[in-house]
Structure 1
C-alpha cells in the first residue's frame, strides 16, 4: 500500500519520516556489508532480487488513494541478507518507485514504516525465534520462515495500515473493508507463495547465497 500524503496530517508524516530515517541509519550502520560483498553468490542474488522487487513494486492494484497492494519481498530479503540489508535495499526500491511514479515525498517515511520496517523487523524476530526454539530442519526453515512468516508479515502490515487509516484518515471502517481488506487474502497468499518458492530454490540450489541458512546445520545427518 502506498499511502498518499493527502490522507494523513503533515505532523504525523514528518514524525514518521524521522523514525524511518533513524531506523534506516541503524540498518545501514550495522549491516554486514563486507560478508555479503565478499560472497559472489550473495552479490548476484542481491542485485537480481533488488531489480525484481522494483519491478513487482510497480504492479499494484487499487481503487481509491491508499487502497492498493503489491508484493513487498521483506521476508525473502531478511532470510537471504539479514534485516539490515533488507531494510536498506527495499528502501532503495521504494525511493526508486517514488521517483518513477512521482509520489508524495513527505509520505515516504510513513510508507517505509508500514511496508519495510514492520514486516522486516517482524520477519527477523520470527527467524530468531525459530532458530532458538525449533529443530534445525530444512522443511521447517522453508515452511515456517518462508511461507508462514511471509504471510504473517503481510497480515501485520495490513492490520497496522488498517488501524492507521481508522485513526488518522477520513476513511470509514466500511470503506476500508470494501476497498482494502477484501483483497488482503490475495496478496497475503501471493507473498507467502513467492517467498516460500524462492527461498526453497535458494536453500536447495544455492545455499551459500542465504545468510541465515547453514546447510551443515540444517541438512547434515537429517
Structure 2
C-alpha cells in the first residue's frame, strides 16, 4: 500500500469522478461495432505510451517527456482522448513508470488539463477563426501542443510547491526552466503528426472536416 497526502486523495477522487462522467457519456455500443474506432483508440493509446517511455529527470517526480496529447485530442475527439489518456496513464503506472500515489495528480494535471486545453483551443479556432487548413495545423495542433505542455509543467510544478516536496529554486531550476526547450519540440511533434494525418488519412481525424477546411 501507499500513503496519500490530502492533495493526492482529492486528485484521486476528482479524477475518478471525471473519468466516470466521460464513461457515462461514451457510446460503447458504437465502439463495439466500429473496428475503425477500436483500432484508432487502442493504437493511439499504445503510440502515446511508447512515447511516454522516453523520459528524463534529475529529481523524482519532476521528470519530463513529450505528451502528444494535442494530436490525440484532434484525432479522437474530447471523450475518447480522455479515455485513451487514462488508459495510457494506467498502463504506465502498472508498468512502474509512474507511482500509484501520483495517479490522480498525473491524471488531472498531466492528462485531463492538457487535453482540455487542446480541445478549448480547437473549439475556439473552429468557431472564431477562419476555417482553413493552415489555421487548423498551426493553431489547433502547433500552438495547442506548445500551450498544453507548458500548462502541464506549470501545474505540476505548482503541485509540488503546494505539497512542500521541493523548494522553489529546485522546481524552477530543474523543471520549469525546461519549458522553453520543450514547447517548440512538442508543437512540432503535434503539428507534423496532424499534417501527415490530414493529408494521408483525413478520415481518421475526428475533428477535421473536408467541407469546412478544404471545400472553399
Query: TM (normalized to structure 1)?
Result: 0.89
Q: Whole-Å Cα distance in 2 between the matches of residues 137 and 34 of structure 1?
A: 33
Deviation digits for residues 127-149 of structure 1, max 9, x if unmatched? 11111100110110011000000
- Deviation for aligned residue 1:32: 4.9
Partner of 1:17: 12
Q: Whole-Å Cα distance in 1 between the matches of residues 32 and 162 of structure 2?
A: 43
Cα distance change, pair 209–33 in 1 and its aligned pair in 2 (3 A): farther
Is it true that 1:112 corresponds to 2:110 in the alignment?
A: no
Calculate the aligned-residue CA RMSD, in Å: 2.0
Contact 1:28 1:85 in 2 (8 A): no
Q: Whole-Å Cα distance in 2 between the matches of residues 185 and 136 of structure 1?
A: 29
Aligned counterpart in structure 2 of residue 167 of structure 1, from 137, 140, 162: 162
Query: TM (normalized to structure 2)?
Result: 0.91
Deviation digits for residues 157-195 of structure 1, max 9, x if unmatched? 122122222222231121112211222223322221111
- Deviation for aligned residue 1:37: 5.9
Question: Paired residues, what number?
Answer: 215
Cα distance change, pair 213–32 in 1 and its aligned pair in 2 (3 A): farther
Partner of 2:54: 59
User: Which structure carries more relative contact order (alpha carbon 8 Å, separation 6+)?
Assistant: 1
- Deviation for aligned residue 1:34: 5.4
Q: Whole-Å Cα distance in 1 between the matches of residues 107 and 206 of structure 2?
A: 23
Could you list the runs of 5+ residues in structure 2 that have no partner in the other structure? none
Cα distance change, pair 141–36 in 1 and its aligned pair in 2 (3 A): farther
Q: Whole-Å Cα distance in 1 between the matches of residues 75 and 98 of structure 2?
A: 29
Contact 1:42 1:210 in 2 (8 A): no
Deviation digits for residues 37-78 of structure 1, max 9, x if unmatched? 665554433332221111111111000111211122221111
Partner of 1:132: 127
Contact 1:53 1:93 in 2 (8 A): yes
Cα distance change, pair 86–52 in 1 and its aligned pair in 2 (3 A): same
- Deviation for aligned residue 1:103: 4.3
Is it true that 1:204 corresponds to 2:196 in the alignment?
A: no
- Deviation for aligned residue 1:17: 0.3
Is it true that 1:158 corresponds to 2:135 in the alignment?
A: no
Contact 2:78 2:115 in 1 (8 A): yes
Deviation digits for residues 178-218 of structure 1, max 9, x if unmatched? 21122222332222111101111111111111111101111
Cα distance change, pair 41–137 in 1 and its aligned pair in 2 (3 A): farther
Q: Secondary structure at the match of 2:101?
A: helix
Cα distance change, pair 42–195 in 1 and its aligned pair in 2 (3 A): farther
Partner of 2:73: 78
Q: Secondary structure at the match of 1:69?
A: coil
